[in-house]
Structure 1
């Protein structure tokens, strides 16, 4: 997984054996759940994939609204003048109908295990921003906050000094 991602439509890849053999080399065609990072890096660069627990997921191109929201969040964070070094302290997912289950389940679990301190899910369908404050203890004392997409959401890793104004983001995105 890449640190700060904004996934669009993910689908578990059901590659025909011939295509899998072509993409990975005949000797590397495997069953879902058995793929490795080495296999992932051997895939063609012209298609987007995500590898989670040995399963390859196809990352279809995100909708324009999805891209605009992710872009506006990135701009707001960049304008703070702060940087995150090393492993990500914060991950933001812009969810879509096909990624909801993964974003709220498997990815939350993975980010907790990786030591991510703050995980946001921008849920466009329900106009909510779900913020998991995972803390420094791998989620042992996790807090959950739910905000509407009509105001500011404080960034916990910056002690609330930075806020993302989702009201402004929603107003700038036409087809939300």
Structure 2
């Protein structure tokens, strides 16, 4: 939910929020975050466990963080997000506060209040800032939308720009919960949504 007052918010405003209140900041606009539903939390926990187990089993170096986890994604004072799941493989980006720069893989779980943010604003933001892969999990429709920016000819992470045209944002890979979904940033990680414990 967008807060009134337009742009002009900074990281200081995020840090000044009352305890228990959470918000995200995109180009100086602040968006309040509603408390997640139980299904949302179930999915976050199940996926985080599966990803972390894969990394440990394969002696990987990446780290998995579930929200609330601070991501200063543009390395400035005007952008701050708390993805539901962040996978960070470059430990140089990690500090005591969270991640300074773009995670390699971001997963967001849709809720009724986050559709516009997760499906529009964050697609552009994550593409622009060098996120390699972005998944949007929709518990209501039981679908997973996968944006593979790392293997897209339209993403240009080297200069921080994203030339991804608006119409191509609507052409990611779409999977149902009955399918296994491959994580592009790992060689052999397949997540089977049909086996997640969501009851």
TM-based fold match above 0.5: yes
TM-score range, shorter chain: 0.7 to 0.9
2:121 paired residue number: 106
Task: Flag the structure with more relative contact order, 1 or 2, with Cα contacts below 8 A and sequence separation at least 6.
Answer: 1
2:37 paired residue number: 63
Q: TM-score, normalised by structure 1?
A: 0.75
Q: Pairwise CA RMSD of aligned residues? A: 1.9
1:167 paired residue number: 194
1:13 paired residue number: 3
Report the CA distance between 1:34 and its aligned residue.
0.9
1:112-146 Cα shifts (integer Å, max 9, x gaps) = 11100100000112111000000163355887211
Q: TM-score, normalised by structure 2?
A: 0.67
Q: Check the 8 A contact 2:137/2:144 in 1, yes or no.
A: yes
1:153 paired residue number: 181
1:116 paired residue number: 131
CA distance, structure 1, for counterparts of residue 15 and residue 36 of structure 2: 22
Q: Which runs of 5+ in 2 are unaligned?
A: 63-88, 94-101
CA distance, structure 2, for counterparts of residue 51 and residue 140 of structure 1: 22
- Which structure is larger by alpha-carbon Rg, 1 or 2? 1
Structure with a larger share of its residues in strand: 2
> Which of 2, 6, 9 in structure 2 is aligned with 1:35?
9
Q: Which runs of 5+ in 1 are unaligned?
A: 1-10, 15-30
CA distance, structure 2, for counterparts of residue 13 and residue 47 of structure 1: 13
Q: How many residues were matched structurally? A: 145
CA distance, structure 2, for counterparts of residue 34 and residue 140 of structure 1: 26
The 5-angstrom pairing of residues 84-103 of structure 1 reads 84-85=89-90, 86=93, 87-103=102-118
